[in-house]
Structure 1
């Protein structure tokens, strides 16, 4: 009989599907280490990149933020972060994925713009592409991209338990 932990673990397909579906309507919580060693937590919009449920890791996440933000200062000092995507209100609904990641700071303007366009397009699927690109291009010079590659993933899906 599998352990309770094994029973709630998501498969690669389930993990990729869950994280991708949540990208449309929620944020990822990103934890970096502040200058005093304490976690610095922030929510970010994200897009899923490079998905392959059988690969290790099965996906990467991308986002962008202001180049002068505290999270970027923290990541320049230590390019590691822990990311959390989660949902559910009651115990039997809890689902989530925690990813310890190496984070690449992207400063190439074309790539930063590409990440920004992906983020904006995912959030406003009916928007005119040229308008989205113009809006993003105006913001991109002050931003950096964050490409998060998981080194360790922990997942849980309490809906698999069939109740308590």
Structure 2
């Protein structure tokens, strides 16, 4: 078995990894043809991830022009601890304010430590209501996934 095969995460491991990490790095293609890279909070969604952003942001403009992205989530501070998932994805832009509100609620609850489906506090509802009309949802649906977990090598190289 190759080293590459030894460090690859299973589909369940990828889902578990995405469930605990907090930041994705998203690459889109800017108007000049160069990559535009942005870190984003996210929440697991279907087999990929989702987030929201301002509708006038550069990444939203880029995805309207070319709805494709590369997404990276990684961690580890030494070789034997390196883990990550990188995936190419189709990007769906969600503009329905009701759905953007649901996405914003899921996102903010995740980062506030609430459980999915918990009722949103009045403060959170007010914040999201003030934001949702200015934002769009972004749904990243993986088309190709690459993963690695060097911990599977047991400290060997």
- For the aligned pair, the TM-score class normalised by the smaller chain equals over 0.9
Task: Return the alpha-carbon distance in structure 2 between the equivalents of residues 78 and 128 of structure 1.
Answer: 34
- The answer to whether structure 1 residue 10 and structure 2 residue 1 are counterparts is no
Q: Deviations over 1:75-107 (max 9, x none)?
A: 011000000000001000000000100000000
* Unaligned segments of structure 2, at least 5 residues: none
Counterpart of 1:20 in structure 2 is: 19
* 8 A contact 2:85–2:145 mirrored in 1: yes
1:57-136 → structure 2 map (5 Å cutoff)? 59-125=47-113, 129-136=121-128
Task: Return the alpha-carbon distance in structure 2 between the equivalents of residues 46 and 142 of structure 1.
Answer: 18
1:73 aligned counterpart, secondary structure? helix
* 8 A contact 2:7–2:150 mirrored in 1: yes
* Unaligned segments of structure 1, at least 5 residues: 51-58
State how many pairs are aligned: 152
Task: Return the alpha-carbon distance in structure 1 between the equivalents of residues 38 and 153 of structure 2.
Answer: 31
Task: Return the alpha-carbon distance in structure 2 between the equivalents of residues 18 and 92 of structure 1.
Answer: 17
Match of 2:132 among 133, 136, 140: 140
Q: Cα offset for 1:130?
A: 2.5
1:68 aligned counterpart, secondary structure? coil
- The answer to whether structure 1 residue 42 and structure 2 residue 38 are counterparts is yes
Q: Cα offset for 1:132?
A: 1.1
2:113 aligned counterpart, secondary structure? coil
Moved more, 60-69 or 125-134: 125-134
Q: Which runs of 4+ in 1 moved over 3 A?
A: none
1:114 aligned counterpart, secondary structure? helix
Task: Return the alpha-carbon distance in structure 2 between the equivalents of residues 113 and 27 of structure 1.
Answer: 20
